[in-house]
Amino acid sequence: VTEKAEYKARIKTLLKEKNAVLVAHYYTDPEIQALAEETGGCVADSLEMARFGAKHSADIIIVAGVRFMGETAKILTPEKTIVMPTLQATCSLDVGCPIDEFSAFCDQHPERKVVVYANTSAAVKARADWIVTSSCALEIVEHLDAEGEKIIWGPDKHLGAYIQKKTGADMIMWNGACIVHDEFKTKALKDMKALHPDAAVLVHPESPAEIVDLADAVGSTSQLIKAAQTLPNQKFIVATDRGIFYKMQQLCPEKEFFEAPTAGEGATCKSCAHCPWMAMNGLKAIEEALLSPQGREVFVDMNLREGALRSLNRMLDFSA
């Protein structure tokens, strides 16, 4: 029996004993996604993770993802214990959008609706009128635009630019980016397309505009997985975190998936198609989270919770 198998067996027992459930994002490592599936938990995009945790009957939710996902779970179900394998798992969008600066930016444009991406702190969510994830952002901005609203968008400038282009909405942007998606390279992707002319290109909209322009399908992690299933192509070039390959390969075993290039020849990148914070959710950390939740439990300031819940519920009701 391998060490990994031993970890998995102990985690399964602990999940049962403690009435806990494991919820994992598509960007976590394949063994973590498999474990969540085997134990009755779920593997999902950030919107579905929030919904799953909110309706599940477990006392403890183990959130294998990044900090904002744990906070969202706590905001939605404050009566539950929300634990993360590590609270150090943050997100460059969250880090790049501190509440004081963001709030001052919003104060300069009081006539605009504040729409923020879910990849933000509870404080930023509380300052927002609307929360969106990449799976519902387009529809929500379309709706606001149709009502004549002008928008402050934060923090992801690439997702914002994509939505602005699609909807024509009046948006002013915060200057944030995802360190993983920002690394995809246009010239190298064009070369790869030329090498595989029959491949469809799937792109997460946190990628730069020149990458999005080369896409056959653009969407949230769940939407990209759906595209892999429904498009007739046998080959796909995928511009998002490589964690997503686990589910794509599982659902489409006969299809072939290639990682979109993150660096030109000879170049290096800090986070080549894998989020360093998602990667912190290992088996050891999950077992430790179940054995000693102290220091791993997620808490949200109750004053912030009320405001964050209001804007989160707007999103959940809208996209129900």
Chain contacts with ligand 13P (rule: CB under 6 A): 45-47, 119, 133-135, 178, 206, 220-221
Question: H-helix or E-strand containing 304?
Answer: helix 302-318
Q: Which amino acid is at 221?
A: T
What single-letter DSSP state applies at residue 273? S
Which tokens is 286 given? 């999950």
What residues from 221 to 250 belong to the interface with ligand SF4 (CB under 6 A)? Answer: 241
Q: Which of ligand 13P, ligand SF4, none sits in contact with 220, Cβ below 5 to 8 A by type?
A: ligand 13P
Q: Which of ligand SF4, ligand 13P, none sits in contact with 92, Cβ below 5 to 8 A by type?
A: ligand SF4
User: Per-residue contact track with ligand SF4, 3 to 42, x per CB under 6 A?
Assistant: ------------------------x---------------
Question: H-helix or E-strand containing 286?
Answer: helix 283-291
Question: H-helix or E-strand containing 25?
Answer: strand 20-25
The residue within the footprint of ligand SF4, chosen from 275, 280, 298, 309 (CB under 6 A), is 275
Q: Which is nearer to ligand SF4, 89 or 152 (CB)?
A: 89
Q: Which of ligand SF4, ligand 13P, none sits in contact with 277, Cβ below 5 to 8 A by type?
A: ligand SF4
DSSP secondary structure string for all residues of 38-59: HTT-EEE-HHHHHHHHHH---S
Residue 151 near residue 171 (C-beta atoms within 8 A): yes
The residue within the footprint of ligand SF4, chosen from 58, 63, 178, 225 (CB under 6 A), is 178
Determine whether the annotation assigns residue 119 to a binding site.
yes
CA nearest to 118, candidates 62, 69, 178: 69
The stretch among 76-84, 162-170, 173-181, 217-225 that binds ligand SF4 (CB under 6 A) is 173-181
Q: Does 211 bind ligand SF4 (CB under 6 A)?
A: no
Q: Which of ligand SF4, ligand 13P, none sits in contact with 281, Cβ below 5 to 8 A by type?
A: none
Determine whether the annotation assigns residue 134 to a binding site.
yes
Sheet arrangement for strand 130-132:
130-132, 113-117, 151-154, 171-173
Determine whether the annotation assigns residue 204 to a binding site.
yes
Q: Which amino acid is at 282?
A: G
Q: Does 131 bind ligand SF4 (CB under 6 A)?
A: no
Sheet arrangement for strand 81-83:
42-44, 20-25, 60-64, 81-83
Where would I find the H helices in the chain? 3-17, 30-38, 46-55, 67-76, 92-95, 99-107, 122-127, 137-146, 157-167, 186-195, 209-212, 221-230, 245-251, 283-291, 302-318
Q: Which of ligand 13P, ligand SF4, none sits in contact with 179, Cβ below 5 to 8 A by type?
A: ligand SF4
Determine whether the annotation assigns residue 46 to a binding site.
yes
Which residue is it, tokens 């190298």? 188
Binding site residue list for iminosuccinate: 25, 46, 117-119, 134, 204-206, 221
Name the residues that contact ligand SF4, by CB under 6 A. 27, 66, 91-93, 119, 178-180, 206, 241, 275, 277-278
Binding site residue list: 25, 46, 91, 117-119, 134, 178, 204-206, 221, 275
